[in-house]
Structure 1
Amino acid sequence: MSLTRQNARDPDGFPVRGLAVTYGDRQRLERHTHPWAQLVYAASGVMRVSTPAAAWLVPPTRAIWVPGGTPHEIEMRGRVAMRTLYLAPPDPDPRLQACRAIEVAPLLRELILHIVRLERLEAGRADHDRLEALLLDLLAAGETAPLQLPLPGDARARGLAERILGDPGAAASLEVLAATSGASLRTQQRLFQAETGLSLEAWRARARMQQAVVSLSAGASVTQTALDAGYQSPSAFIAAFKRAFGVTPARFRAN
């Protein structure tokens, strides 16, 4: 069955809908679910998107693909101009069956904004069918950005994870943070390794890299980005960033 025929099952005849909403800092969309898939994108501002399994810190150069039926919540960091799309469930495609962060290239960005301005695509209209097909092709083929952070399920570990995500660059040691989480540092280290596949130290480092991507995307200098991500030494930050992403922060920002 083609994507167009599958999407035409939408009872209202609109396989893609667009929504433009502006939110204030720290506004939150509590955990919810809906049958339609969602492309969560912000033309400006930063969002934190979380599912029961993972969290992403999303700058305007990225979007999060959330398949239909996936519980998720969204928190705004600063003023956020959300431009999101809802899509009727497409044919099974391994690239669209799980949540992932997608690089938003200029063509995809303009297509998202265009569909949002239209408000919806109407099934059976040739021009709208072409837009839908292009959108699905770009999403399925889009490069996956390395921004996913697995979340632990244990309540004690989840509490510590939320604390770190709230301020990834905080100077407090893991021992100090663990002391307020209801479990010892050793217990937290065991929980994080077992439930996320990462050591607690590596998990915090990845959270800091998420923050670094957001700061760089907002135009911050490498030095300021290093401080935002909890590094006192820009050289140590540059080395850590290159290990994580394969390029220097300056090269990443230029892309």
Structure 2
Amino acid sequence: MAIVPVNHTRPHLPGTTPTPKRPVRLVARDLDASELLAAHRHAWGQVTYALDGVVRVTVGNSTWIVPPMRAIWIPPRALHEVATLEKAKLRALYVHADIAPFKGEECEVLEVSALLRELIVAFAQVQAGEARESMLATLIVDELARSRTQPIRVALPTDKRLKALCEMLIADPASPLTLDEFAVRVGASARTLARLFERELGMSFSQWRQQMRLAHAAPLIARGLPLSHVASELGYASQSAFSAMFKKTFGQSPSSFFARKES
């Protein structure tokens, strides 16, 4: 994976720090697959969004897989890294902490409405200092605050053995390996790993694997793949088994959950 150097305490690019007079700034990066914006933090909040492509955002002990119809709000001062799972047109909105659309220290996965997408596209083209810049910024923050949030999150452990197991599954979500088989690979007993899952992640191995697979469904469905193909890619025995598990978790079918909402 190619690493794109990022200063840990300063913005990606000079001159993009949000201020009270210009509280929303935008950084556009067109990145190839398997590029990594190294872990960094800043005093302002950030909306990470890809017009095209899929990114993986990691903050603390959680990771999110974000397709084009979703974005992720990262609160001020949160240490985060962004990796591209495929070629992506990354658009990062920097939002001054004083006008943050979400309070607290938790990340939020947002539905990107048609209106919000077009506002971001327009904002990327505006000239600095134009009155239009201020008007678009106000509309963007208002639309962000109105965005529906979705619970697509995969918790990550700190224990090295458990983290190695989780990383293997994230890389290959359809892996049929059992906990006993993973135990041999990471050098710990299955009983120890089961105890670590409950202690560090608050769930069982099978529950975590299910959560991780559902998160991986997002980019596959975003590319328009048939649900039968998605189910196969994620290791489900059938489309109906995948759809049933999805609806049980999110309260609606995959097609409804990932439908683009018009605004």
TM-score, length of structure 1 as denominator length: 0.87
Contact 2:34/2:83 (8 A) holds in 1: yes
> Are positions 1:40 and 2:48 aligned together?
yes
Amino acid of the structure 2 residue aligned with 1:170 = S
Contact 1:95/1:140 (8 A) holds in 2: no
Which residue does the alignment assign to 1:113?
121
| Aligned mates of 2:257, 2:150 — CA distance in 1 | 12
Residue number among 167, 181, 184 corresponding to 1:176 in the alignment? 181
Any stretches of 5+ residues in structure 1 without a counterpart?
1-7
**Distance verdict in 2 for CA 1:96–1:132, change over 3 Å:** farther
| Aligned mates of 2:89, 2:101 — CA distance in 1 | 29
Which residue does the alignment assign to 1:141?
146
1:16 deviation in Å?
A: 1.4
Amino acid of the structure 2 residue aligned with 1:223 = S
My pick for the range that moved more, 228-237 or 200-209, is: 228-237
1:182 deviation in Å?
A: 3.0
% of aligned pairs identical? 36
Which residue does the alignment assign to 1:66?
74
Contact 1:24/1:78 (8 A) holds in 2: yes
| Aligned mates of 2:113, 2:18 — CA distance in 1 | 30
My pick for the range that moved more, 100-109 or 139-148, is: 139-148
Which residue does the alignment assign to 2:107?
99
Which residue does the alignment assign to 1:31?
39
Contact 2:76/2:97 (8 A) holds in 1: yes
Aligned length: 244
Residue number among 154, 158, 171 corresponding to 1:153 in the alignment? 158
Q: Secondary structure at the match of 1:78?
A: coil
Which residue does the alignment assign to 1:190?
195
| Aligned mates of 2:102, 2:36 — CA distance in 1 | 30
**Distance verdict in 2 for CA 1:216–1:92, change over 3 Å:** closer
Q: Secondary structure at the match of 2:203?
A: coil
> Are positions 1:243 and 2:248 aligned together?
yes
**Distance verdict in 2 for CA 1:9–1:84, change over 3 Å:** closer
1:43 deviation in Å?
A: 0.5
Which residue does the alignment assign to 1:80?
88
| Aligned mates of 2:216, 2:99 — CA distance in 1 | 34
1:24 deviation in Å?
A: 1.1
TM-score, length of structure 2 as denominator length: 0.84
My pick for the range that moved more, 109-118 or 128-137, is: 128-137
Deviations 1:75-119 (A, max 9, x none): 111111111111221257654642111111111111112112227
**Distance verdict in 2 for CA 1:160–1:27, change over 3 Å:** same
1:136 deviation in Å?
A: 1.7
**Distance verdict in 2 for CA 1:165–1:155, change over 3 Å:** same
Which residue does the alignment assign to 2:19?
10
Which residue does the alignment assign to 1:132?
137
RMSD after superposition: 2.2
| Aligned mates of 1:9, 1:211 — CA distance in 2 | 33
Residue number among 221, 228, 231 corresponding to 2:233 in the alignment? 228
| Aligned mates of 1:95, 1:145 — CA distance in 2 | 16
Amino acid of the structure 2 residue aligned with 1:220 = L
Deviations 1:125-147 (A, max 9, x none): 65433322222222223111121
Q: Secondary structure at the match of 1:163?
A: helix
| Aligned mates of 2:259, 2:46 — CA distance in 1 | 29
Amino acid of the structure 2 residue aligned with 1:199 = S
My pick for the range that moved more, 168-177 or 125-134, is: 125-134
Contact 2:126/2:132 (8 A) holds in 1: no
Which residue does the alignment assign to 1:3?
none
Amino acid of the structure 1 residue aligned with 2:179 = L
Deviations 1:145-200 (A, max 9, x none): 12112222222222222222122222222322232223222212211211222212
